[in-house]
Amino acid sequence: MPSLKRRLSDPARRLTSAICTIPSAIVTQALAASGMDFVMIDMEHGAVDHGSCHAMIAATAGTECAPLVRVAENDTAQVKRVLDMGAEGIVFPLIRDAEDARVAVASLRYPPRGTRGFGPFIAQSRWGTSLTGYREEIEDHLVCCLLIETTEAVENIDAICAVDGIDLLVVAAFDLTTSLGVSGQFDHPDYLRAQQIIEEAALRAGLPLGGAALNATQAAALFERGHRVIAGFDVLWLKQQSSEMASWCAD
C-alpha cells in the first residue's frame, strides 16, 4: 500500500528524494534500494519517455521508495497517463496561483471529487488491487507536490497554501532565481527574500517543504530553515563522482 503521504504527514520526519533525469530503470532501482523515500521521475526536463517512465516506476517495487512523476505541465491528460502507469503521485511545475493548485489537486482524483478519467489497467497490478478496487484503495494515498518556482507563485503563496489536497511544496531554486532575474544566484537578496516568504507561508499552513541539496552543508541549512524534504539529482551526482575519481589521477 502506498505510504509516502503518511510519511509526509509526520512533522517529525525528514525525507530524502532523487530527481531522476536519466531514463533508466537500473538507475532508479539503485536509488530506490539505497533507502530514498521517493524518486521524482522527470518528464519535464529529463530524457524520460512514457516507456522509460513505466519501467522506472516498476523498478521501485520491493522497496519503500515511492515513485512520483514530474509532468511537463499542469495538464490533466499528462497526469492521468502516468498515474495509470502506477505513479504514487505527481510533481506539478510552474504553479502560479490558487487556481493552478486546484487544477492540480483535481487531476489526481476521480469525479465527483476531481477530473481524472478512469483507466488504471496497468496501475492495478502495480498496487496489487483489482481494476475496480483501485479507486477506493489508492486514490486517497496519491501525493500532490507543487513546485514553487515563479514570481507569481511567491506573490500568491498564501492562497496556494490554502488549497486543500496539497501534500508537499518544493522551492525550485533554479527556476525561481531565473524568474526573479537573478538566475543561479542563490545568495541574492531577492531570492533569499522570496525563499523566506515561501517558507513562512508553508509553515503557517502546516505544509511540508522541500528543496534541492547537493551536499550535507546545503541539506543542514534547509533543515535549519524548516524544510523536511531534501532532493538531489541523479545526473549531477554521477558527474560529481566521476569528476572526483578523475582528480585521483592528478599529479
Look at residues 100, 107, 102 and name the one whose alpha carbon lies nearest to residue 76: 107
Q: Please say whether the beta carbons of 230 and 16 come within 8 A.
A: yes
Give the integer Cα–Cα distance in Å for 188 and 175: 14
Give me the sign of the Cα torsion angle 216, 219, 224, 229: negative
Choose the catalytic residue: 45, 50, 54, 141: 45
Q: Which residue type is seen at 169?
A: L
Beta-bridged to residue 186, according to DSSP, are none
The yes-or-no answer on residue 188 being catalytic is no
Q: Among all chains, which residue has been given the C-alpha cell 599529479?
A: 251
Q: At 79, phi and psi to the nearest 5?
A: -60, -50
Residue spans of alpha helices (H) in 34-94 = 50-58, 76-83
Look at residues 120, 98, 96, 95 and name the one whose alpha carbon lies nearest to residue 108: 120
C-alpha separations of 34 from 17, 18, 27, 28, 211 in Å: 11, 11, 11, 10, 20
DSSP H/E element including 210: strand 209-212
Q: Please say whether the beta carbons of 84 and 147 come within 8 A.
A: no
Beta-strand (E) ranges in 113-191?
143-148, 168-171
Give the integer Cα–Cα distance in Å for 151 and 194: 8
- Would you name the residues annotated as active-site residues? 45
